[in-house]
Structure 1
Amino acid sequence: MTIKEILNTTGHRPWKLPAERWKYYQEWNNAVFLHWQVAYEEIRKFVPDDLEIDLFEGKPWVSLVAFTMEKVRPRKLPSFSPLSDFDEINIRTYVKHNNKTGVYFLSIEGGTKISCQLAKALSALPYRYSKIERRENIYYSENKQSNDKLKIIYQVGRELKEKTELDKWLLERYALFQDTQASINEFEIHHAEWPAFKIDLKEIKIEYPKFNELLDNSPDRIHYSTGVQVVAWDRKKYTKLAHKL
């Protein structure tokens, strides 16, 4: 799709596109989604008080998404493959802020050091470098500093022609929120609806000591997607409640 076509595809969005011009383009390709229903008191420990935990039928969820980031670029510049293309793993939960639903990242790992440094500097998102290897139907990562490991061997199945309400709730998110010491940063994004496929996990090994109470080797729901083309807007800062007092 062209960017104009992406911006004209809005029927699936929960609110209108921002009035401002978009700032970044990127692609999130060949994504493996692992989802867990978790205890509210456990996820609350990781999310700032300024953000409300979003619930599906009264329960919070956490997702691990392993994918390949490609063609990242500012609006008026071309992409540069050594910086623009890298594998990424994020662990996220679902939140609300200012009447918008979105995601909050507990962790973001990138497979290229300089790309992680640049992304963290530009966005203030919690990027960190991990050794990531991706081959056909295999995704492997290791971070020796935090003792984090991930290994997924999978087989992609048929496309989901109709998504359930839970599928849409987990996949279709058009804002992300992240905190700094003084502010909540909001990033609006837009893309066409995720194409979703069934996926068969042949082998799974998840070791994230920090998130032992949230992640295990038996996710409650899984998806695969070929990917989406994404436009993103500049961040908006909202002062944390504690700093308003």
Structure 2
Amino acid sequence: MTIKEILVDTEHRPWTIPAEKWQYYQEWNKAVFLHWQVDIEGLQELVPAELEIDLYEGKPWVSLVAFTMEKIRPRNLPSFPPISDFDEINIRTYVKKNNKTGVYFLSIEGGTYLSCQIAKKLSELPYRYSNMHRKKSFYSSENKLFKDRLHINYQVAKAVTEKTALDKWLTERYVLFQDTKTSINEFEIHHLEWPIYELDTMELEVDYPRFKKILSNFPDKKHYSTGVKVIAWGKRKSEKGILK
């Protein structure tokens, strides 16, 4: 499907796409989603005051998404695989601001050092490098500085043909909010709905010491997706201190 076709397929979105020209294209492929329902007390201290934690039936959720980033490029320029293709893990929660429901990254890691440095510089997202290995039905990552470790041996099961409201709530998000020292940055994105599959984890180790209160080896829900093609716009800044 072409970028033009993706941009006109918007019925699944909760609001219209931005009027400005998009700035980046990227693909998020072979995605493993692990989801935990958590207590808001353990989460609130990790989210800036300017963002409201989004709730599903009164409870917040945190998700770990391990995938392969491919073909990331600026508008009108080609991708360069040694930089544009890399494995990535993000740990995110679900937030609201200005009547938009999106995600906020608690952690974001990439498997290529140079790609992390460039992404951090351009986007101000808190990328850090971790040593990652991926092959069929296997994903592992280790960061010795933070003592973070992820190990997944998994099996993809049948396609989810009828998504639940929670399935969509956890996966269909079209804005990312992230903070810096002085601002809250907002990144609009667009893609088709995630195709999702059931996921069986044969082995799972999730060890992130900073998040031990909210992550465990027993997620409440799991998904797999073949991936989506993503259109992204540039960041919009708002000063910190302007609440929700």
TM-score by length of 2: 0.99
Partner of residue 62, structure 1: 62
Number of the residue aligned with 2:121: 121
- Name the CA shift for 1:157/1:237 in 2 (closer, same or farther; >3 Å): same
1:146-168 Cα distance to aligned partner (Å, 9 max, x none): 10000000000110001000000
Identity %: 67
SS across alignment from 2:95: strand
| Partner Cα distance (2:124, 2:43) in 1 | 21
The answer for the alignment partner of 1:33 in structure 2 is: 33
- Long gaps (5+) in structure 1: none
- Cα deviations across residues 171-201 of structure 1 (Å, max 9, x unaligned)? 0000000001111000000000000000111
Q: How many residues align?
A: 243
Q: Distance in 2 between matches of 1:216 and 1:205?
A: 8
**Secondary structure of the corresponding residue to residue 206 of structure 1:** strand
Alpha-carbon shift at residue 241 of structure 1 (Å): 1.2
Give the match for residue 237 of structure 2.
237
Alpha-carbon distance in 1 for matches of 2:153, 2:20: 41
Alignment of 1:105 with 2:105, yes or no, is yes
Give 1:240 shift. Answer: 1.1
Give 3-state SS (helix, strand or coil) of 1:238's partner: strand
- Over the aligned positions, Cα root-mean-square deviation in angstroms equals 0.9
Superposed displacement of residue 53, structure 1: 0.2
The equivalent of 1:151 in structure 2 is: 151
User: Whole-Å Cα distance in 2 between the matches of residues 60 and 20 of structure 1?
Assistant: 32
TM-score of the two chains, using structure 1 as the length reference: 0.98
The alignment partner of 2:41 has SS state of: helix
Distance 1:23 1:81 in 2: 18
